[in-house]
């Protein structure tokens, strides 16, 4: 199983340790190979809003040298793991910078066909609050990229460091990870037999209808035309 991890922060703290628990658990089912990116180290530059990705193509992004390896690893992955601690009620700024750069991959622009066959896992830890909001920020991008199955793990660890997380809390986390990792493995194993989520499919159809009358962005329109998506073909 190929796993691409996008770490929302660089610390080997609670979030990183939860991710490690998932990887160790998944390894019990299958051989895994993990490619990791760490924010903000691997995508250090903010989106400057030049619109080049939308209007000229993503390789015209001034930061494409940082974005390209992440995109390639996302395309390769059987499982995308996206992690973040809660900062000021949401994901880290570093992760948001990456997600901004990947806006061109939203269904409203040029979604990658491969995403419609992938699974993702979001991992969020927080001292106490904000985990739902941070998770939603991540799942928004993943679902608008077209990802087929999205799992979410959240934990209020009530600590600044993993070492300070109470043993009972760690035991609870481990139990949840075991349960969820099993589900993730079985989902990936049976991916082609699982139906595409109805609402995400509906969103795709709405976007296809919008692209049919698209006379404002030839690159987006060409993407949809070339794949036959304007003539009823679907990526899922
Ligand atoms: C800059 C910063 C902002 C934070 N904001 C929040 C917050 O809004 N709500 C909250 O409950 N915890 C907040 N925390 C606590 C972290 O979310 C929590 O300790 C998390 O588990 C740390 O993850 P890590 O060990 O992977 O770094 C914040 C921590 C930092 C460093």
Considering its fold, how many domains does the chain have in total?
1
Does residue 90 sit within a domain? yes
Dist. CA 64–CA 47, nearest whole Å = 11
Nearest CA to ligand 1 atom 3: 87
- In the chain, what's the furthest Cα-to-Cα distance? 58
Cα(133) to centroid of ligand 1, in Å?
Answer: 13
Does residue 88 sit within a domain? yes
Three-class DSSP category at 165: coil
Supply the range of the domain harboring residue 51: 2-196
Dist. CA 100–CA 62, nearest whole Å = 13
Does residue 103 sit within a domain? yes
Does residue 220 sit within a domain? no
Torsion of CA 131, 134, 140, 142, to 10 degrees: -90
Using a 6 Å CB cutoff, which residues line ligand 1? 9, 11, 13-16, 85-89, 125-130, 157, 160, 162
Phi, psi of 46 (to 5 degrees): -70, 150
Cα(156) to centroid of ligand 1, in Å?
Answer: 10
Cα(86) to centroid of ligand 1, in Å?
Answer: 5
0.95 exceeded by pTM:
yes
Does residue 232 sit within a domain? no
Dist. CA 59–CA 65, nearest whole Å = 9
Does residue 203 sit within a domain? no
Nearest CA to ligand 1 atom 30: 87
Phi, psi of 83 (to 5 degrees): -125, 150
Cα(23) to centroid of ligand 1, in Å?
Answer: 22
Shortest CA distance to 140 belongs to which of 75, 183, 91? Answer: 91
Cis peptide bond N-terminal to 40, omega within 30: yes
Residue 47, domain CATH: 3.40.50.360
Does residue 156 sit within a domain? yes
Nearest CA to ligand 1 atom 12: 127
Nearest CA to ligand 1 atom 31: 87
How would you write the pLDDT of the chain (236 residues) with one tens digit per residue? 999 999 999 999 999 999 999 999 999 999 999 999 999 999 989 999 999 999 999 999 999 999 999 999 999 999 999 999 999 999 999 999 999 999 999 999 999 999 999 999 999 999 999 999 999 999 999 999 999 999 999 999 999 999 999 999 999 999 999 999 999 999 999 999 999 999 999 999 999 999 999 999 999 999 999 999 999 999 99
The answer to whether residues 181 and 150 touch, using CB atoms and an 8 Å cutoff, is no
Does residue 223 sit within a domain? no
Nearest CA to ligand 1 atom 27: 13
Counting ligand 1 atoms within 8 A of each CB, the residue from 6, 12, 87, 93 with the most, and so the one to mutate, is 87
For the record, the structure tokens of 110 come out as: 């040029």
């Amino acid at each position: 199983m190929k796993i691409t991890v996008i770490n929302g922060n660089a610390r080997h703290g609670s979030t990183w340790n939860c991710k490690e628990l998932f990887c160790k658990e998944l390894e019990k089912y299958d051989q895994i190979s993990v490619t990791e990116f760490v924010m903000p180290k691997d995508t250090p530059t903010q989106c400057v809003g030049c619109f080049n990705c939308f209007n000229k193509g993503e390789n015209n992004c001034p930061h494409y040298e940082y974005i390209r390896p992440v995109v390639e690893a996302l395309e390769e992955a059987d499982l995308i793991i996206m992690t973040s601690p809660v900062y000021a009620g949401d994901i880290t700024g570093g992760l948001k910078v990456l997600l901004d750069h990947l806006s061109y991959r939203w269904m409203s622009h040029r979604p990658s066909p491969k995403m419609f066959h992938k699974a993702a896992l979001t991992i969020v830890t927080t001292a106490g609050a904000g985990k739902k909001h941070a998770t939603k920020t991540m799942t928004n991008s993943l679902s608008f990229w077209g990802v087929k199955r999205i799992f979410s793990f959240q934990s209020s660890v009530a600590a600044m460091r993993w070492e300070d997380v109470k043993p009972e809390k760690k035991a609870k986390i481990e139990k949840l990870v075991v349960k969820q990792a099993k589900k993730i493995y079985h989902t990936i194993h049976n991916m082609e037999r699982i139906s595409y989520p109805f609402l995400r499919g509906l969103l795709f159809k709405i976007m296809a209808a919008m692209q049919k009358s698209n006379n404002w962005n030839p690159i987006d329109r060409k993407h949809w035309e070339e794949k036959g998506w304007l003539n009823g073909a679907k990526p899922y």
